[in-house]
Chain A
Amino acid sequence: MHPILADARKLLWYVLAWLLAGIGIAALLRLTEQAEWSGALWFALPICLVWSFVALSSYYVCRSLPYSQRRWPVALGLFGGASLLSALAWLGLGEAWDSMGRLVSHDKPFVAMTSPGWVMYFAAGFVLYLLSLLAHDVLVAFESVQAAARREAESRVLARDAELQMLRTQINPHFLFNSLNSISALTGFDPAAAREMTVDLAQFFRRTLALAERERITLGEEVVLCEHFLAIEKRRFGAKLKTELRIAADATDCLLPPMTLQPLLENAIKHGIRQVDGGGTITVDALVRDGWLHIAVVNPVAADEVPASGHGVGLKNIRERLAVLYGARARIAWQRSETQFAIEINLPADKEVIE
């Protein structure tokens, strides 16, 4: 449907503009002494009212010739032809309406135009329709640009949704199978520890699945999830892995996307602790300052490590995820020195609204 017909407000303004054009034509008729004011207005306004709807047809003329497949001779022919045809119809309508005037006002037409008057009137019809075509052309071009932008945005959102879904349901198989192997080993000599590890593993996956369905969770919930994760990893890596979590009390009820902290810890173990002989301590600091939630993770790294492959992919994923959810209001920055890796995330300190 025509965008102007679809919107009552736009239609009103559009018709008003045409009535203004009608007054203009009436003034022209008056100035060239073709008619009296009342006759000129009686003549021009109804015609312009009718013509405002006829001119809307130019939208479809423009759409029949999209910009991308347009050649100038064809476009010129089409626009000129359409304007000429409509000017003829405009002339016919004018003459018919003018003669109707006899019925309403004492057997006299609204205007008594001379031939040059009718020529001028005809030219005005031509120009008006041409202007309408050009205006619609701009409208169509604008619309197609907007539609393209919308499509692009939509596909981006869809792609991101799919990616988020993927990220959420992604269960690191390496982690799962290694944990099961550790449990298998523990059953032989420490069944109680094996049982604890099984429970931690179950809790971790249960929480991952439950939280992944939610858009945002509290930092407190994320920390509980991470504690199960760390309990498992500590069984696997023994004394090599030590952790220090310092979560400020007012930070625990801040909201953040699920699985924001956990992948940072996973990275810290995979690329940090595991690579360092003797391991080390991962520290996590979370606090609220000036309306911002700051989360920092620091871990030791091996000074001479040359990554085998795939370094930084995980971090890029987190950055993209935060960008999707927060735009420019989230910041993530990391820094690697000779002996340690530090990453910091800053998010707006949103809290759950209690209704």
Chain B
Amino acid sequence: MSAIPPLRALIVDDEELARHLIREYLQGHADIEIVGECENGLDAVRQIGALTPDLVFLDIQMPRLTGLEVLELTGRRAGVIFTTAYDEHAIKAFELHAVDYLLKPFSKARFDDALARARALHAPASPAPALDALIARKTAPLERILIRDREQVHVIAIDQVECIEAQGDYLAIHAGGKCHLKPQRISEIEEQLDSTRFLRVHRSFIISLAHLQAIERPGPDRHAARLRSGKRVPISRSGYEKLRTLV
């Protein structure tokens, strides 16, 4: 029997004692090697990219980025064990999608149990559609948009966003005079946005109503939105109908 290489684990939690506890619980498991520890979400995004650990212990409520946002940005799905003290929304979602999680404080037995399950799931590194669903359907309307640009992570407050444009497989997010690209479908982000603040005015455009300055009429039966930044966005006929009922 050939020696199985140890599983490489990353611990993500902003509290040193919480990390310490996981380290202690892992001591009895010779087949697991701790390759790193992170104390915030941004760090976790970097380390997951750099170390590609087999297993991530991921706290949900963290500074900078939440655990779910870390997954969204890294595309990481397999080998994740969530830890949380209390997060009604997340726990409900975990239950719904049968995602394993550890509720702090947790016992050694419960921890070993989760580990055993993670080992079993790790063998075929299958992407977890459950997690996709979990990340996509966030409970509250989106408050910030996360963009990963190589090693950098941009966090854009939602009220900075002027408009979002579909460009092939990407979204061009116009905010604060800059344009960021994010791989996502426009219909997906449309669902996550607060419908009283954002409106899909065209097949490939969503505008922020707060940034809308005027509706122009460049030709008969054609409309365009002029935004505060001066940018012009085409409005489709159905988009115009929706806009008229709102404004």
Q: Contact residues of A with B, CB < 8 Å?
A: 173-174, 176-178, 180-186, 188-189, 235-238, 274-275, 277, 302, 304-309
Q: Give complex CA distance A251, B39 in Å.
A: 38
Task: Assess A174 versus B61: contact at CB under 8 Å? Given A277-B40, A308-B144.
Answer: yes
Structural contact, A186 and B85, CB atoms closer than 8 A: no
Structural contact, A236 and B61, CB atoms closer than 8 A: no
Structural contact, A238 and B104, CB atoms closer than 8 A: no
Instruction: For B85, list chain A residues within 8 Å (CB).
Output: 173-174, 176-178, 181
Structural contact, A174 and B86, CB atoms closer than 8 A: yes
Within 8 A of A (CB), among B50-68: 61, 63-64, 66
Among A174, A181, A304, A309, residue most surrounded by chain B Cβ atoms (within 10 Å):
A181
Q: Contact residues of B with A, CB < 8 Å?
A: 14-18, 20-21, 24, 40, 61, 63-64, 66, 85-87, 103-106, 140, 143-144, 155-157
Instruction: For B16, list chain A residues within 8 Å (CB).
Output: 237-238
Tell me what chain B mostly uses at the interface: helix, strand, loop, or mixed: loop
Q: How far in angstroms is the closest Cβ of chain B from A70?
A: 38
Q: Give complex CA distance A202, B156 in Å.
A: 41
Structural contact, A181 and B21, CB atoms closer than 8 A: yes
Structural contact, A236 and B86, CB atoms closer than 8 A: no
Neighbour of B86 across the interface among A173, A185, A188, A274, CB < 8 A:
A173
Instruction: For B64, list chain A residues within 8 Å (CB).
Output: 275, 302, 305
Q: Give complex CA distance A196, B63 in Å.
A: 27
Neighbour of B21 across the interface among A174, A188, A236, A308, CB < 8 A:
A188
Instruction: For B106, list chain A residues within 8 Å (CB).
Output: 181
Q: How far in angstroms is the closest Cβ of chain B from A309?
A: 5
Q: Give complex CA distance A304, B152 in Å.
A: 14
Instruction: For A235, list chain B residues within 8 Å (CB).
Output: 17
Structural contact, A306 and B17, CB atoms closer than 8 A: no
Closest A residue to B64 by beta carbon equals A275
Q: How far in angstroms is the closest Cβ of chain B from A303?
A: 12
Among A176, A177, A277, A306, residue most surrounded by chain B Cβ atoms (within 10 Å):
A306
Q: Give complex CA distance A307, B69 in Å.
A: 13
Structural contact, A185 and B155, CB atoms closer than 8 A: no
4 more contacts with CB within 8 A, not counting A181-B104, A188-B21, A306-B157, are A173-B86, A186-B17, A188-B20, A275-B63
Neighbour of B143 across the interface among A238, A275, A302, A309, CB < 8 A:
A309
Q: Give complex CA distance A185, B108 in Å.
A: 11
Give 12 A-B contacts (CB < 8 Å), ordered by A residue. A177-B85, A180-B105, A181-B85, A183-B105, A185-B21, A188-B21, A188-B24, A189-B24, A235-B17, A237-B16, A274-B14, A306-B155
Instruction: For A309, list chain B residues within 8 Å (CB).
Output: 140, 143
Structural contact, A307 and B143, CB atoms closer than 8 A: yes
Shortest beta-carbon contacts, A-B, top 5: A185-B21, A181-B104, A177-B85, A185-B17, A181-B105
Structural contact, A184 and B14, CB atoms closer than 8 A: no
Instruction: For B144, list chain A residues within 8 Å (CB).
Output: 306-308
Q: Give complex CA distance A176, B86 in Å.
A: 9
Task: Assess A185 versus B143: contact at CB under 8 Å? Given A173-B85, A174-B85, A275-B63.
Answer: no
Neighbour of A237 across the interface among B15, B66, B104, CB < 8 A:
B15
Closest B residue to A307 by beta carbon equals B143
Closest B residue to A173 by beta carbon equals B86
Instruction: For A308, list chain B residues within 8 Å (CB).
Output: 66, 143-144
